[in-house]
Amino acid sequence: MLNNVALDQLLLLDIETTPLVPSFSELPGEMQDLWLEKFTKTAPESGEPQPGYFEKAGIYAEFGKIVCISVGFFYVENGKYNFRIKSFFNDDEQIVLTEFLELVQKFHLKYPRFQFAGHNIKDFDIPYICRRAIIKGLILPPALQIHGLKPWEMPMLDTMQIWRFGDFKNYTSLKLLAAVLGIPSPKDDIDGSMVASVYWEKHDLKRISEYCQKDVLTVAQLLLRFKHMPLLNDNEVTIIGN
């Protein structure tokens, strides 16, 4: 499986997002009205729209922001695959996005068969990154200028799409997929529903980045499992400091 996928051509990624501001009342007046409109149309069964802002806004690029992007890539050492992980995290989203986009450009130029890889990146991470970059006035590198491309032209390897095997009704979380394939769970501290409170109430960006890194590593292990290759050992994984 995935015989045509070169692991050392992949840039694995995961993002963590939060509401743009810590409470509905801190949104500008027009954005409050637009959130009420968005909420009532997309999640009318989810309760009151004002308290729902803190719980739900982070999943929408128009009302949230990226606080961390973790990336990982395979490389060969002594005839075996090793894996490096790096995180970009900052209160200033523009810094996070700028540093990530610079890395994407370098990676794209270096590797002729470049692809992004991750879990549910086609429907969430990549569109969110592109939207937030445009909102912040940043220029998307060629690898992310994907509007108008046909689905099979997208430079993305999505483990959720792989696991669907053509069944587009199916959604499988990274935690569930890791569990059924015998890979240690990435959710051993916090989960996505807790990121907003960890950020806005505890301001623990380091904890968020560590959680994000675990997701990237889990995707790497999934790809190895799909390719019937040995999983990475701890001594084969390096986390690059910021």
Q: What is the pLDDT of residues 201-223, one digit of tens each?
A: 999 999 999 999 999 999 999 99
**What are the extents of the domains in the chain?**
7-20+63-240
Q: How far is CA 132 from the centre of its chain?
A: 13
- Tell me how far apart the alpha carbons of residues 74 and 149 are, in angstroms, rounded to a whole number: 27
CB 118, CB 89: distance < 8 Å:
no
List pLDDT tens digits, range 78-133: 889 999 999 999 999 999 999 999 999 999 999 989 999 999 999 999 999 999 99
CATH top-level class for 7-20+63-240? alpha beta
Give mean pLDDT, residues 40-69.
Answer: 83
Q: Are the beta carbons of 132 and 92 closer than 8 angstroms?
A: no
Report the side by side order of strands in the sheet with 156-158. Answer: 156-158, 115-118, 10-19, 64-77, 80-89, 237-240
Give the percent of the chain with pLDDT over 90.
74
Question: Is 46 a residue whose pLDDT tops 60?
Answer: no
Q: Which two tokens stand for residue 10?
A: 């992949």
Cα 47 from Cα 24, distance rounded (Å): 14
Q: What's the pLDDT tens digit per position in 29-41?
A: 899 999 998 888 7
> Do 203 and 49 meet the contact criterion of CB atoms below 8 Å apart?
no
